[in-house]
């Protein structure tokens, strides 16, 4: 079968691009640990305010010295709105929504997950730098989406 030279060049470029993309994804997943957030825990979205520990959102210290932070993301704010985290703390965030799809992002930290009603999103981070970090909803969730923000203070 005869193949035109230009066709060969484009086919090679296409395959090379696929190989590069696949290598990038594999490297990010294995070396950098970039994996999709786990959605293993479910919750009744109509009963979030009555379901422990989401009935008392906030930071909880564990016996091993690490922390758990429970968050409720709802239209159009986060509960808690403000959180103080001790410097150097390893925090696992558990976030859920009683209403619509939200985002949970703390820029400059790598904390970034979608928040889906009925599910508990989990993401961990060790806060090694002091400062006040913005917490934002980065999924369009309605008319007040742009006001949906809070902060995390590391000190």
Q: Which is nearer to ligand CUA, 48 or 148 (CB)?
A: 148
40: left (phi over 0), alpha (psi -120 to 50) or beta: alpha
Does position 125 bind ligand CUA by CB under 6 A?
Answer: no
Piece of 17-25, 36-44, 86-94, 141-149 that binds ligand CUA (CB under 6 A): 141-149
Q: Are 45 and 99 in contact (CB under 8 A)?
A: yes
Print the SS3 string covering 26-47.
Answer: HHHHHCCCCCCCEEEEECCHHH
How many C-beta atoms surround the C-beta of residue 69 within 10 A?
22
The rounded distance, in Å, linking the Cα atoms of 97 and 48 is 8
- C-alpha closest to that of 76 among 137, 152, 151: 137
The residue within the footprint of ligand CUA, chosen from 148, 150, 152, 154 (CB under 6 A), is: 148
Does position 152 bind ligand CUA by CB under 6 A?
Answer: no
- Tell me, residue by residue from 43 to 82, as one string, x for binding to ligand CUA by CB under 6 A and - for no binding: ----------------------------------------
**Encoded tokens for 78:** 């986060």
Q: DSSP character for 50?
A: G
Q: Which is nearer to ligand CUA, 105 or 109 (CB)?
A: 105
The residue within the footprint of ligand CUA, chosen from 59, 83, 95, 139 (CB under 6 A), is: 139
- Tell me, residue by residue from 87 to 106, as one string, x for binding to ligand CUA by CB under 6 A and - for no binding: ---------------x----
Site residues (CB under 6 A) for ligand CUA? 102, 137, 139-141, 145, 148
């Amino acid at each position: 079968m005869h193949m035109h030279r230009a066709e060969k060049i484009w086919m090679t470029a296409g395959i090379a691009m696929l190989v590069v993309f696949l290598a990038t994804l594999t490297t990010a997943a294995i070396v950098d640990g970039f994996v999709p957030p786990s959605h293993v825990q479910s919750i009744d979205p109509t009963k979030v305010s009555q379901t422990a520990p989401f009935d008392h959102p906030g930071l909880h210290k564990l016996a091993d010295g690490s922390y758990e932070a429970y968050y409720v993301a709802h239209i159009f704010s986060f509960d808690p709105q403000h959180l103080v985290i001790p410097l150097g703390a390893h925090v696992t965030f558990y976030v859920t929504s009683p209403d619509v799809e939200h985002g949970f992002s703390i820029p400059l930290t790598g904390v970034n997950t979608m928040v889906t009603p009925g599910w508990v999103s989990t993401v961990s981070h060790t806060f090694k730098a002091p400062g006040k970090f913005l917490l934002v909803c980065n999924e369009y969730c309605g008319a007040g989406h742009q006001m949906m923000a809070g902060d995390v203070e590391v000190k």
